[in-house]
Structure 1
């Protein structure tokens, strides 16, 4: 029983151990089942995630076998994933030969070197795939396998293509806009947020005088000068801060010229500020010209006799000239307020300067309609004081009205006196000493006086028919000494009426009378024929001609006599001078002091008389046209210097000062040195003689208009016009109408003859109290 009990205990223990082991096994199995379920669920989730992932893996083993999801096969256009990489080329599906070769090379390189790769692949079917490959983790696939992840970029490729197209369009638009800005004739620029120049166009570069846009940006050269204490960048900064465009007019120097520019700065959000400048110098100049034209026009309108009133499109008076203010007694200050048209008419009515009308409001409304008229309106205004106005209303293109008030009162008065004037004219014509006849353009006789009928012995009844010129000349032809000369009268009448030219002539009548006639074109288109009996004057003229011929012959005899006498005087004068020089030299013995004075006086008188004889001889030869003139180059300034030096003692003795102006640069003249020396010496001598002690003499030598001019001036007393008139004797009158002076003696006439013999002119100017100037001009 004891054994049995022990056996039972052992059995019980074994059963208990077996039970525990069974329980442990059950618990362990349950734990394994739970782990297996969890792993299975994880695998399903991972598989689902892979299926739904945007990237699909492809495992490529070292032997070329591949593993991948069926979804990847769908991306490649395959029904199922093949076993080897080379089987991904499925003729019309999968990769083509080039794409597959590219993928295979990249995979093998990654398997050998472990280098990752990226590829863009395009399988048949139009998809776009991105492939990223690397060496697989040994836990995933040992033995040098590679994992390639594929991304489907088809939709992204379409979006990318669209974005590329938009970018290309944007680039094209930007290039076009940039080209437009670059080709724009006005300067343009862009500033960044820091208000620094970033872009400028060619017009900007040219305006600032640089070579390239890069230079302008790098140097920060501004086109616009500071204005009101603000630089261009500071103004742009204000525009950027306020987010509001600003346009202003400033001045700038472009191409060395000051120009007016309209500058606009435009904010471009946070990017910066753009700007451009428009050259408005021409427009500003046109505006200034318009203002000057308007001012000049209004000044011109003030000089007219007609009243002018200008109303604008709002019917306000904007301008009235002085005749308008005078006619209607309106002060200038009232016009400054630009009163409306109605008020202007009311003021005219109050001043009694409008015509009397029954219904003034209606009359005023009719005048207001002139503003809307398409054609000018004109009407007469008869005022109560007898004034007659011609009123014209001219509508303006801008909607305004220009009113012109012409005072015709005097015209009516002139018209009233016209008949009186005509009668007066007829009476005047009839009492003239000349024969007068007026012919119209058609050749008919219009007017004539009684003397015309008497000179040609024409009947009044015939003239009253206003005959044509040819019929009139047929009547006159029989009274001429030679009837054929009537054609001369016909030519004169035709020239005065049709050709509008004046002609004249003389004609002889059969009774011995001499008539002088002339044709004069008249302003009204007619021609005036004047005929004057010059029979008596012809006789007097013949007598004067005979007397003049006698005087000319007498003058020639006088000239020859003077020339001969000059030669006759020279011989004894030479002897007197020679003997006096011998006495002065002591040939006849020593002379007493008093005798020496007498001899010196004789020599001085001989010299003066010799000069006068030379003057008379040269003057007579010049008047006779036989004065010999040498042709040589004469430096003028040295010649004048020699003349002054010869008279230095004489000038000092007279207490005068002499100023010689000029230089050798003025050149030379062609002529006779001796006679030019005498001519200028005579002018200086005359100036010395006419200038009081303490006075001055000035000689100015210059070249004017290709000619040499010498002016000898002094501050003497001058001469009165009456004395000058008596002393002229052939000298000129100055260009300003003052008489020129001719001083006493033969000096000045001889100077004139010598200067004119050299092709020059002599002009003397003198005024009382202001001295005398002799102006010599030589070619």
Structure 2
């Protein structure tokens, strides 16, 4: 069919000459016809060829018949169109054939190029997959990088993709950090880099980073042996350079002048302390001007010393900023120059001189003590002794000045009969000298042949050695013995007296009584036991006497009179007996009641008076002893605290951690003991009736904050919070501000001792009809009824779930000081529901009143 083979169809119509002409110009025709136009012409030629066939058939029939056939104009037009269409069809067929040939040629060329590209890709992959290199390719967009190639096993580089990209796991830290920074700069800014990195296996790698149009490429190359050596040298040079810079940086920030000189002796480098000391503008100015730190004589001495040995060490002096300083100079001379360092020891020399003066002052102080003191050094040699030591043992001064050791001194005392003979002398001596190996003070008691009793305390020193203190306690023990004898005599005397005697303490409770007291008032045995309150006895005795005096007795025991006066009286009992009584105020706030049956003989009365005088003397002796011991304790405690603080100063000398801990324990324990002594003295002053209140206007807010600050450290130690509520409190009231602050401090300290960890203590103040009321509440275990009865009793510490055990004076002081103001104290508590202590102060006390508990 013509449509299937256009070339043959053209030959059938036009004889082929026109087709050859068209075929001779295929290129020009192909250029003029687009594929869409050629296809259209081909369709037209195929469709219009049918009329041409019809006309040809008619002409052939006419020729056969021999007749003329007239041809109309329309037929001519159809013939012309048919011829044109057929020509166009031929041209289109030829153009299509040529296009197919060109397309086939282009496909063949593309297949060749693709084969070449595949071959090139295979060659590239073969090159990249060599064992001595690995390439990481990052696409421009945020996609996972591709990794090609591998590195030798001896480099230590992992084959796993994730492990390889974690550079810090197989590269040295310095190399990993440098590579991470370089890769980040390559990907973000396109900055190329060349690095030499070191793996953790010690193998050097050359790393190159380049940025393409769409990719970032990092290439890891394992180096040859020569390249490895060069890379190792580069790495070593980098390390040395870094260490050199670090060392110079350290030298530059040292507070000690440091200098370096070249082989010609000229300054090559100095640190900041050097050019500051020589008053140069900067380092370059010091080097340029040749500013010397040491004088010419000192430099000559250094140069002379270097001729014999490379190290120079000596103390030299120089002038800095107009002042002369002493330096410990160390200078080292090498093959290419020297370096020196100067350490300022002027302050150390001044501290050494101060220490020597302190030691001399300490020795002078010890020499004036009545207590014998001897100090031995770490070699157990006698280093110091005071006059009391020499007087106690009666030793020759020449012998003591010869610095005998401790063993020789003990043997000398033994041979002279100064100390008692021991059954096992060697073991006793070793036990005594174990103080040199101890870290805590040791104590011994020596009973000397002459009857003296010596308390020996060996106190180890921080730098070795022991300070021996020999305290003569003969008189003290004798005094205590006589005191105990007097107390026993007093007890026996009271028990055998026919007069009734009852002594009540400052808390209103019975301290002691004799059987005659219970017999006269017909009291049961349980009513006259110690700690029974005076009001209990009053209730029992109220119906046994006409117009009984017990109301006055209670007032005398618990009242706060301006002046405590003794008085006498007489009462008649319901059974007809007549008693003469005496109210006697004893020291420490105690009150003694004596009862005499006046129906007895005068001799009994006289005996009672004599015994009463003896009792007063005994009590006075006891009171004087307690006051004497209390006041005498303050001086040594003050000395202990002072010397503890002195030992804590850096100038005294370095202490080990254990020694500092022991020193802290000594200081804290001494402070606690001093607080206890002060509390005892305060209570003694209150009991003696000589305590005076300094009445002034007390600012509530300031006083509460001051008391809270005093206990802040203890509260913080146990994570205890303090809640303060003074919204309903007055701005001020009249009282003794110091005592009020002491009351609040004792209440907060007591609450902090019992409050659980992480709980809250509430301090509140409000104005009431009676005056001003302070309350302190904690969430502790509370107080059982038996403890509540004795909570204000002195010297009865109670742990009851608390953290520490005190002297039992805190609440006693609170009660005494509140009642001195004319106020009152009450406690609201119960087991497992906390404790609230409430103190009520009058807004304006009538005046200063003495305690009379």
User: With structure 1 as the length reference, what TM-score do the two structures score?
Assistant: 0.37
Q: Which has the higher contact order (CA 8 A, sep 6+)?
A: 2
User: With structure 2 as the length reference, what TM-score do the two structures score?
Assistant: 0.34
